[in-house]
Amino acid sequence: MELKVHKISGEETGRKVKLDKAIFGIEPNDHAIYLDTKQYLAHRRQGTHDSKERSDIMGSTRKIKRQKGTGTARAGSIKNPLFRGGGRVFGPHPHEYRLKLNKKVKRLARLSALAYKAKDKNIMVLEDFTMEAAKTKDYLQILDSLNVKNERTLLVVNTADDKLYLAARNLQKAKVIRAETLNTYEILHANKILFVESSLKALAEVFSK
């Protein structure tokens, strides 16, 4: 598959790049995508949620009423989970949400996600550029020129660019990421993926390892 290379002004450069079939042309594996996305979302969870069970509640343990003859349910203490202020039944406690996933499965998942984006024609290639200042309005102007201002975009770059990162940081639908840290979730979450030319070479090096 060949794609035209665009300038940040939206104009075509007259050049084309050929997407690597080994990266963008494989047969997608949906189960690998599911597993990798599940792991990514699980690792974002802090797992610090906690609740107090009846053994953690401060209160008397005396029997608050007689066992029989009251016409109501029996109750052993004021810390009964059925009472207001009582302990919680089988409440959550801190634990890790970590999943183990083989590197080959993660690699297959990323390739599958990229293949879907290429198949749906949701990939654009830009010539390498730098920003003079870290201004959000300048980055918005670039997105507007490319007709993707209202889309969720993921800009993939080769090396970290602080000005570019800061310019896009406050935009809810825009994100900048390096090719070596590209992950399945970010690929699928974006409507349009914008690759600068040098990032395609970096991506090829990542998957060649």
pLDDT attached to residue 172: 92
CATH 3.40.1370.10 fits 2-28+100-208, yes or no: yes
Domain boundaries, the chain: 2-28+100-208, 46-96
- Distance, CA of 88 to CA of 49 (rounded, Å): 13
Q: Which residues of the chain have pLDDT under 50?
A: none
pLDDT attached to residue 171: 92
Strands (E) across 128-173 are located at: 153-157
pLDDT attached to residue 188: 95
138-183 residue pLDDT tens = 999 999 999 998 999 999 999 888 999 999 999 999 999 999 999 9
pLDDT attached to residue 88: 93
- Give which of 113, 106, 104, 107 is closest to 28, Cα–Cα: 113
pLDDT attached to residue 195: 94
pLDDT attached to residue 141: 93
CB-CB contact of 24 with 115 (8 Å): yes
pLDDT attached to residue 2: 87
- Distance, CA of 115 to CA of 121 (rounded, Å): 10
pLDDT attached to residue 143: 93
CB-CB contact of 195 with 178 (8 Å): no
Classify each residue of 21-49 as buried b or exposed e, where b means 16 or more C-beta atoms within 10 Å of its C-beta.
Answer: eebbeeeebeebbebbbebbeeeeeeeee
Largest CA distance in the chain: 91
pLDDT attached to residue 207: 87
